[in-house]
Copies of this chain bind each other. A is one copy, B any other.
Amino acid sequence: MNNKAIGIFDSGIGGLTVYNAIKQRMPREKLIYFGDTARLPYGTKSSETIIKYSMENAQFLLKKEVKIIIVACNSSSSYSLPFLQDKLSIPVVGVIEPGAEAAVKLSKKKIGVIGTTATIASKAYEKAILTKKPDAEVISKDCPLLVSLVEEGWINHEVTRLVIEEYLLPLKEKAIDILVLGCTHYPVLKDQISDVIGKEIRLIDSGETTSKKVYSVLKNRAWLSASDNRVEDEFYVSDFPERFKNVGEIFLKRKLEKVNIAEETS
């Protein structure tokens, strides 16, 4: 297993923050990323459809002989994770559980959660947090504009700062001590969010918490790569590789040389 790759899928491009975190923690692992760009967004689809698409994405990665699958998409993690874990013979890790776990562990006061409108409406993080700590106080807020701002590349932009202020200052006033970034796009704006709400509120980046979890799953099974060489990762999308390349640069801070179309899934 050691030489096999780590598979990651997302409905689109946001999962690249999870990719980044895994790559940083485990630079010798080969990563295969699949973004289902033809069928995004998942957040506005029914749970049956999300499960069906997620299974198809997992099958694509299985054909590449991955040793573990990371569901780097909040909607898919929320609906399809138990199903995938039941059907597949390799480990499957989602982004919600590790984030919720870290929030519960670190919070002494109220926990703030931000995400897309669909994620917040699904109450996925709230449920995961309350399962772990039934008396936790969770304050949720959808921040729909942040995804568009990230994809536009307006990271250090006055507009983005104003939008973050409008969304997050009311959360700060409610005295949260933890803020869960419940959307894979948001870690790109981590510094900007921290500047607005202050360093005393700790941010939970689900990319980071997920990468910790992946590391521990692989380590426990002795499946970590034994190679000393850095291998080239692979990127696949179900449509629009050019857009993925362009917007991908905002996430990766480097050029993506090659993005393939995975025709069998679209």
Contact = CB atoms under 8 A, between A and B. Distances in A.
Interface of A: 37-38, 40, 44-46, 117, 144-145, 148-149, 151-152, 158-159, 162-163, 166, 239-240, 243
B163 A159 contact: yes
Nearest to A121: B243
A79 to B, nearest CB: 15
A119 to B, nearest CB: 14
A265 to B, nearest CB: 13
Contacts of A45: 38, 239
A178 B243 CA distance: 29
A213 B3 CA distance: 63
Contact of A44 (B46, B117, B149, B240): B240
24 contacts: A37-B44, A38-B44, A38-B45, A38-B46, A40-B44, A44-B239, A44-B240, A45-B239, A46-B239, A117-B243, A144-B148, A144-B151, A144-B152, A145-B145, A145-B148, A145-B149, A145-B152, A148-B148, A158-B162, A159-B159, A159-B162, A159-B163, A159-B166, A162-B162
